[in-house]
Amino acid sequence: MVALQEGRIWIDGCFDFAHHGHAGAMMQAREKGDELFVGVHNDTDILVNKGPPVMTLAERMVAVEGCRWCTTAVANAPYVTDPLVMDEYGCKYVVHGDDITTDKDGKDCYAEVKAKGRFIVVKRTPNISTTDLVGRMLVHTTEHHLARVDGQQWAQWQRVSAADAAQAGGKTLLTPENVERYRRYATAADARSAGAAVWVYTEAGVHELVKGQASARTKPVYYVDGGFDLFNPGHITFLKRVRELADADGSLVVVGVADDAAVNSARGGSYPVMNLLERSLCVLQSKYIDGLVLGAPRAVDTPFLTLFKRGTGLSVHRVVHGPTTPLQADDYDDARATGLLLEVTTGLDLYASMTVESIVERVVANRAAFEERQRRKGVKAETEKSLENQEEAVRAGAAA
């Protein structure tokens, strides 16, 4: 056994999909210490306690390992948190979001660690969960899509007040709450200092939203773009490969994420499953990138590269594309003609052919099992809510 260390934090969960709720929990956990061990449950335990996972253990491990705040990912962590397993890794505390998670018998998975004073609670990220995403795949909806940020919206953000944002409702990307989220998700591996940079593209320019280490550098850029919907091992292994190529060439990696309308017009139906806020936060938590462009234009052409240089001070040295179909057939014509295009099709291992459609297909092909998962989750949520109320009453009693 390793000696318990104050700064070594444990977090565990299913981490089914690399969504920004999971990343937010890892980021807040990392803020509590210096090292973060992430325990990932196996497929059988999830099936027994909650219903079928969409992504396999190996795929969920790729997602967790790709998160900037994770130091070590641990496969097969027990569904009910076991202090002996935390001891094995020298982790004194476990972090969990401020919801109660129960096992198949309706018991709080963290009861034992809570009783031992080894539990730290962080804020759960609102409006995102695996259950929500599975729900969107079962009931085709575009309700979650956000409006494109244009020059007028950018100008408005410069003067925005919390009251304006509240009035704009949930369809606007640039609200004080979302921008604060971008700032926190851009932090470096220590979850404190500045890390990645975030820019917003409008037809008038590329504007800095979050200052990152890249903003102060003069290195050339490997620029990648796409929809990055349901951020998955296909995207993650591709970005990892781009990182290796960029490092070998002394370059930065900047990722352009297309807006919801652009993805929808290319992919149709209710795509994207995740909106621009959700897709971009998934990209931003990736340990393989240095910067992000929100609402990047469809074509990576010379006018865009000129705006990019003017707005960021950085020059694009390579436009990189992976093995999947671009949003539109002619997206890279300019980059090809100017000799900037680099097509990466090797070194992507198992996940080269994974796409958002192939993941949605898993859910649709097993509709009955996933509908049952959703129903069970709804029933569990009621038990969990009543446990939360009991805990709240005990806390209020202790405070009185």
Which residues make up the interface to ligand CTP (CB under 6 A)?
A: 11, 13-16, 21-22, 24-25, 96-97, 99, 124-125, 128-131
Nearer to ligand CTP among residue 64 and residue 214 (C-beta): 64
Nearer to ligand CTP among residue 27 and residue 314 (C-beta): 27
* Least spacing, CB of residue 83 vs ligand CTP, in Å: 17
Taking alpha carbons only, the member of 213, 252, 235, 247 closest to residue 321 is: 235
* Least spacing, CB of residue 391 vs ligand CTP, in Å: 15
Nearer to ligand CTP among residue 136 and residue 243 (C-beta): 136
Nearer to ligand CTP among residue 15 and residue 37 (C-beta): 15
DSSP-derived letter for residue 317 is: E
* Least spacing, CB of residue 144 vs ligand CTP, in Å: 14
Nearer to ligand CTP among residue 119 and residue 351 (C-beta): 119
* Least spacing, CB of residue 374 vs ligand CTP, in Å: 9
Strand order in the sheet with 205-210: 205-210, 197-202, 291-294, 252-257, 221-226, 316-321, 341-343
The two tokens of residue 198 are: 């975030």
* Residue 382: partners with Cβ closer than 8 Å, 6 or more residues away: none
* Least spacing, CB of residue 152 vs ligand CTP, in Å: 31
Nearer to ligand CTP among residue 130 and residue 251 (C-beta): 130
Q: How far apart are CA 182 and CA 374, in angstroms?
A: 30
CB atoms within 10 A of CB 306: 11
DSSP-derived letter for residue 292 is: E
Helix (H, G, I), strand (E, B) or coil at 80: coil
Greatest alpha-carbon pair distance for the chain in Å reads: 72
Q: How far apart are CA 298 and CA 376, in angstroms?
A: 41
Taking alpha carbons only, the member of 257, 289, 293, 290 closest to residue 275 is: 257
Which residue type is seen at 174? Answer: L
Nearer to ligand CTP among residue 20 and residue 267 (C-beta): 20
Q: How far is CA 387 from CA 94, 97, 106, 128, 193, in A?
A: 19, 15, 9, 21, 37
* Least spacing, CB of residue 328 vs ligand CTP, in Å: 33
* Least spacing, CB of residue 100 vs ligand CTP, in Å: 9
* Residue 183: partners with Cβ closer than 8 Å, 6 or more residues away: 210
Nearer to ligand CTP among residue 20 and residue 243 (C-beta): 20
Phi-psi domain of 131 (left: phi exceeds 0; alpha: psi -120 through 50; beta: other): alpha
Nearer to ligand CTP among residue 228 and residue 370 (C-beta): 370
* Least spacing, CB of residue 15 vs ligand CTP, in Å: 5
- Pairing label, strands 119-122, 316-321: unpaired
* Least spacing, CB of residue 86 vs ligand CTP, in Å: 14
Helix (H, G, I), strand (E, B) or coil at 206: strand
Nearer to ligand CTP among residue 96 and residue 118 (C-beta): 96
* Least spacing, CB of residue 38 vs ligand CTP, in Å: 9
